[in-house]
Each structure stands twice: as C-alpha cells, then as structure tokens.
Structure 1
C-alpha cells in the first residue's frame, strides 16, 4: 500500500480577508490506496515517473469527459476556472508504477478507471476535487461541486472573517481555531467554510474533543457541527 493525499480541503496560505485565525490552514487528509493506482503528472509541478503525454490518447479523453461533466454540473464559466492538477489511472491488480511502460501505456488492453484531480481558486483560497471515470469515460464519482441550475450563486462566498465570528459565538466553542478549509455539502448543494476547533491545550491523558463547524459559504448560516472524541490512554 502507499499513501496519497486528498486535497479537497487544502487552502492557499493567504486568506480571503485578514482577521484573527484567517490564515490557519486545514491540511490534507491522508488516504490509503492500492499500488495499482498509478500517478500521472500533467505538468512539471509534480514529480512523477509518468506523464499524461505518454498516454495522451486516453488521458485527453478522460480530461475532456471530466470537463464536460463540470460544465453540465456547474456551468462553463466555472469549468474555465478549474485547472487539472494530475491524474491517477487505476490498473488491474498486480500492476503498479514500476510495471513495464509497454504495459502501462497501452490502456486498450485493460478496463482501467481514471481519477482526474482539479483545483479551483476562490479569491486566494483553493478548493480541490476529483472526478472518477470508468474506462469508457462515464462519470462514477459522486458530486463534489454544486449544481449551477439549483444554486446559481454557489460561487459567491461570504468572507471567512464573518464565518469565524459566527463559529466563535457558538455556546460549545471553547477552544482555538486549528484550521480552515472549503468543503462541499451535497445535502444543501453548497460550498461551506469548514472551520475546525481544538482544545487550547491537549491533555497528556484522557479524552478531548475536536469540533468541525460547517458554515454555508453562500448564506453564512451554520449548517452543522461534527464532534470527534479522542482518548489518550
């Protein structure tokens, strides 16, 4: 197994607006994937053994299909703002990034799937998301971006400082802000400011809680709060 990072919550170091805690970053979440997921770089930003230029006929088809999905889902203007970061190809078990290139680059031999990773800027913040497609370029993944038909103003955000003020006014808020991110909530079909709270000091022993507050980035309303309880033996 190997580790790669889902960057759906990774933000630019610089904030939308400047206020206390607005520069705190909610870092990427680690996820385990199988070795048969092979990373293909799109440009020189990411170092890799493999580049999509080596599988151009297949990669271009996947990127075009993913782009069409974004246009249909969130509109042509939003799609233009989305930049492809990199791609993963999911090969049959037993294959990995060290397999012969004669095997890796001839995708017509396999029923692979593609994961196209995108980033889009909101001011100076980045929201990263993925589109998963099968070998025939049919979208398999759930929605990670809003519908422009259902929510035409989905990309009009309230300031992060307003979201922070709302969170800090909650009765259960007693700690410190440990990170800020952007997430997509399919239940309300909207982006949210994701603001994480940790205790001001973590105990050497016993339990402590981490709370995740989700503020609708369009309306400024608190949608829900998740709480994780951790135990230090």
Structure 2
C-alpha cells in the first residue's frame, strides 16, 4: 500500500514541479522584458507570490481538518512541497535576488527565508527520521510514551527488589537506586538518540558490565530482567527524541 501510494504521488509531484518551473521561467522572462521597457513587473510577481504563500497556509488548515474527506495527505504534502519551492523561485524573481532593500522589506525577507529554509530542512528531516524509527525495532505511539516509561520503571523496581529478596544482599537494590533510578524516571540522552551517536547504548552497557561482576548467581535472573527493561527504555527514549523533534519542527515551521 505504501509503495503504491509513493508511486502514484511521484508523477503528481513531478507534474506540479514541471508546471511550477514553467510558470517561474515565464514570469522571469516577463519581468526581464518589463525591466527593458523601464516598466515594473513587481505588481504581477508580487500577487503570484502572495497567492503561493496563501496556498501554503491551506496545508495547515487541511491538517486541522484531517477528519474531513479532503484527499490523501500524501498529495497535499507533495503540493505543499512543490508550491513551497515555487514560492522560493517567485521570491527571487519578485525581488531580483535572494535579499531585499529597505528595512521593512528585509524583515519580510528574513521571515520568508526562515520559513522556507525550515521547510526544506524539515522535509529532508521527515524523510530521514522514519527510517531511523523503523531500525529501532520497537514501535510506540508518542502519546503513550509517558505510560510506557512508567511501566518500565515499575518493572525495573520489581526486578531490583527481586534480586535483593533472592540473595539477601543489597547490591542490586543499591545499583538501581544510585545508578538506574534517574534513567527510568524520564527520557534520557536526547541528543545522542537524535544524532545516532550510541552514547546511550554505551552508558547502559558500561553500567551493567560493571554490576554483573558484583552480583551472585541468585541475583542474575533479576539482573537480566532489569537489563531487558533498560534496553527497552533505550528504544523508547529514541522514539521520544525523534518524534518530539518532528513535532517541534512542525510547530516552528507553521508558526
């Protein structure tokens, strides 16, 4: 189903891109001809640019009305991307360059480029991050993450108490309270998960490698249970970092 949707959206996007490129080329030629005649084409190019920018705002409206049958989101996204790139081209045609003169015009240009560049970055980011989420091998809905962390924290506490009860030694309980309790309290290593740096994995590996030499055979099942909870927590933290960054990007780009 996903492959079929992608294959059907691509021709739609390419067609829109071709039409947009032709319109930009035509208006650039028209603007140049008007300039040679000592006339001004900014009225026409300005209205075209404004129309493109208003059209871009419609994508946000469509997202708010997602419960209504307004066409597939994939087609709306393709339309948004193409019209966004079209707006960038029209801005250059309208201003005669990538920047503008005059304080008011420069403020408007700054806002335009901030929105445009955040959109381009976000589009690339949205294409890369879902693949990262797929490689994690553990799926979780963003809104369910706090509940998932709470459940893992309870699992980890039970494992620590199980180890203490099985051996009568406080080693595993102390390890949890002094080392792992804060790890299970909230999402951790956000930057590492975003960059895929592996610091979080190394941190967990080192802690469990150290404590493994301190526990006896009676505590090993509880330690394995605690370690399994910690590794699931790593996956949830990665989901939280990536999904939260995607939501923050949408908020920044739309605002």
TM-score band (shorter)? under 0.3
TM-score by length of 2: 0.20
Q: Greater helix percent: which structure? A: 2
